[in-house]
Amino acid sequence: MSLASAIARANEIRDRLGMPSQVRTVGNQGFDQVLANAQNHFDLGPAKVTTMSQSVTPGGWGDNANYVPASGTAAGGSPSADIGTAGFATPAKVNGWSPQVSAMMDAASKKFGVPKELLTAVSRAESAFRSEVTSPAGAVGMMQLMPATAKGLGVTNATDPWQNIAGGAKYLRQLLDRFHGDATKAVAGYNAGPNAVQKYGGVPPYKETQTYVARVSGYAAELGFQL
């Protein structure tokens, strides 16, 4: 799939959901430079970021508020050995895209087999890469993990940037597996919960989730990835 085709697909999704902005891209540049230009297109800033990890169904952040670990993961929180530290000594707070964040995204992508572009797009939509963000529903960090979700994923400290990113990547991997590699359903599940996606056979008819999927799709397309 070419970059042009990915952008066209993202624009198609945005048009269907009534999103006015068209996805644009820049030339053949490195990942970090493309992302930096993409952020300028979407005018992200701390005062303008809306985290999407808020209640869309009773009980909190979709099904994430009552997260049930995937088969083979110990209920009540598994050891974080599979999350680990990956050799990162990170500060308690990280704000914005940086070489350090890029390295953590890359490591989590490789560790859990999630495309870096997808992981980056979700983190950008959730928090604009800000590790100190906490949503009104209690979701924490760059990947906006709910406490129960973090525990089930083996994250012992959701405020630690590496653990948070790795936990989000692990959860995305589980969602991709559940929906047979369908990234659109995985992204919708990240926002509304996998049971809602299963119930409706796709993106649930929630305005927030539809907007969220379009936003992530646009961010991913800027980096050459098609949902």
**Which candidate in 126, 132, 208, 222 is catalytic?**
126
Following DSSP, what letter does each residue of 112-156 receive, concatenated? HT--HHHHHHHHHHHHSSBTT-B-TT--BTTTTB-HHHHHHHT-S
3-state helix, strand, coil in the chain (%, to 5): 50, 5, 45
Distance separating alpha carbons of residues 18 and 21, to the nearest angstrom: 9
Distance separating alpha carbons of residues 74 and 66, to the nearest angstrom: 15
Diameter of the chain by CA atoms? 47
Task: Report the candidate in 16, 14, 32 with the shortest Cα–Cα distance to residue 24.
Answer: 14
Which are the contacts of 70, defined by CB distance < 8 A and separation ≥ 6? 174, 177, 178
Which are the contacts of 189, defined by CB distance < 8 A and separation ≥ 6? 62, 63, 175, 178, 179, 196, 197
Task: Report the candidate in 66, 61, 91 with the shortest Cα–Cα distance to residue 161.
Answer: 91
Distance separating alpha carbons of residues 131 and 157, to the nearest angstrom: 12
222 is catalytic: no
> Could you give the residue numbers annotated as active site?
126
